[in-house]
Structure 1
Amino acid sequence: MEVTTPTKLEYFDQMFKLQSKATLIHYFKGDDGRKALILDNTIFHPQGGGQPSDTGFVCVTNSNLRFCVQDVRSKDGVVFHYGFPEDSTLESELEQGKGKQVILQVDEPRRRLNSRLHSAGHLLDVCMRNVGLGHLEPGKAYHFPDAPFVEYKDTVPPNELQNKQKEIEIEVNTLISKGEKVYAAVLPYDEAAELCGGSLPDYISPGSNPRIIKVGENPGCPCGGTHVSDISEIISLKVSQIRTKKGMTKVSYTIGT
């Protein structure tokens, strides 16, 4: 099975859309035994960038068939929707369904939680700069519900950690209480660099069109994830721990319910 046409990522432009239509390109069973759908476009966010995948359903138009989406992954620009048909007796509709129209339905509570956690990570980046830690270069981020954190290259002296933890938490919750819009757009390289403070990370090629997330009036950053429409939707944030070790500073956090 070889699909070379990239899947159009509809959530790039419409992060808050939870239902859409698409065309079925392929249905198959992989070497690992999992069944998957490939569509011409998708609003399902695949796992990546420190964010878990969406789940939900793909329903065949004018049919009783629903495909339960349990996991979503992207490879070489093609998005794979892994799961199973609720009624296995209707599976032939998928096997012979190339070109059929389908309706995508994203699990709303899961999407909103993932978006809040991811947005909170970006807000932490902003507040780290605001409290005088702008020298720390962003590294790995993990926005899963079990233990979200952001990690930065370089360290904070141990005697500063407790004070900085309190400062960051106050700064974050002040911004959440005020509320600011969150924007996402795919932009030409030079325009994207300007929004991100004048430069982009080395992994983004000059001449490309990166997707930029901007939290209020703060400098933007490249990101492929989903986010809230306003940072007030995060509700609240608690810095549960700041730890510095082996040239890295790790900020763990939780968000309000």
Structure 2
Amino acid sequence: MNLNPTKLEYYDHMWKLQSKATLLSCFKGDDGRRALILDSTIFYPQGGGQPSDTGFITISDLGFRFIVQHVKSRDGTVFHYGVFENCSEGVEVELEMGKELLLFVDDSRRKLNSRLHSAGHLLDICMKNVGLGNLEPGKGYHFPDGPYVEYKGTVAQSELQTKQKELEVEANALISKGGEVTVAVYSYEEASKLCGGCLPDYIPKGSTPRIVNLGGNPGCPCGGTHVSDISEIISMKVSQIRTKKGHTKVFYTVGS
């Protein structure tokens, strides 16, 4: 299937939860669910340690709702997987290509995922503020079942408990203070300056990275969704720090 890249509306408008799009393709996946491909989407596809959005898509003149259960991106094309609501088993829904659809993202799931993702970035700032800036941020896992950020480098066993408490105090102090969260695309040189003078090796030189900036602190490249203000994280609990074989994992949760 040769398709053009899907326009990512959430990329520029993270807090937009409704939009219109044009249907390009509809087919049945290997697991029996339908997959819709649109010219644009506000649904975040799973990636970068962040789960996908869910929600629904309406086709008004047919009287159907398509329940979006999972979203993923492959080679720039976004696939919306799900089922048609109130559709009898064995009944095939025929959709006309080029038809305008209405997209609705689940608000509560988007907010929770954005809070967890933003809290992961906040940890990077806190690590530097409590004297652990020598640890290089690695992958993050921002799912509700056990979010963490992994860093290259280790912490002395004798310091783990102290640093865990310091990280939690620092994180909640920053959350209480608040600060606007901004996201924009910059030239490689501008992005490097915003991120403290350098970018990770996986960012190609000459590219135009998307940078998230939390409350005026040094930014970082990220393609996910985030809160509009640090205070929306509400609170943060640093539940555990594990350090082993050159890597440190900081586990956390956010308040409700």
* C-alpha separation in 2, matches of 1:32 and 1:207: 40
Code of the aligned partner of 2:56:
F
What is the CA-CA distance between 1:210 and the residue it aligns to? 1.3
Q: What is the CA–CA distance in structure 1 between the aligned matches of 2:134 and 2:73, rounded to whole Å?
A: 33
CA offsets 1:176-234 (integer angstroms, 9 cap, x no match) = 00100111112222211111112111111122111111101111101111100001011
**Where does structure 2 lack aligned partners over 5 or more consecutive residues?**
none
Aligned to 1:88: 87
C-alpha distance in structure 1 between counterparts of 2:222 and 2:179, whole Å? 18
Contact 1:3 1:78 in 2 (8 A): no
SS of equivalent to 1:202: coil
Q: Report the TM-score when normalising by structure 2.
A: 0.96
Q: 1:62 maps to what in 2? A: 61
CA distance in 2, matches of 1:60, 1:186: 33
2:62 partner SS: coil
For 1:125, the equivalent position in structure 2 comes to 124
Which of 205-214 and 57-66 deviates more?
Answer: 57-66
Aligned residue for 2:199?
200
- TM-score scaled by structure 1? 0.96
Seq. identity, %: 69
Give the Cα separation in 1 of the matches to 2:250 and 2:205: 31
- Three-state SS of the structure 2 residue aligned to 1:88 is coil
Task: Give the paired residue count.
Answer: 254
How far apart, CA to CA, are the structure 1 residues paired with 2:57 and 2:200? 36
Matches within 5 A, 1:131-170: 131-170=130-169
Distance of 1:211 and 1:39 partners within structure 2: 23
Deviating beyond 4 angstroms after TM superposition, the runs of 4 or more aligned structure 1 residues are none
| Contact 1:55/1:107 (<8 A) preserved | yes
1:50 paired residue number: 49
State the distance in 2 between where 1:207 and 1:114 align.
30
Partner Cα separation in structure 2 for residue 183 and residue 245 of structure 1: 34
Alpha carbons 1:187, 1:212 under 8 Å: kept:
yes
Matches of 1:52 and 1:31, distance apart in 2 = 21
- Return the offset for 1:121: 0.3
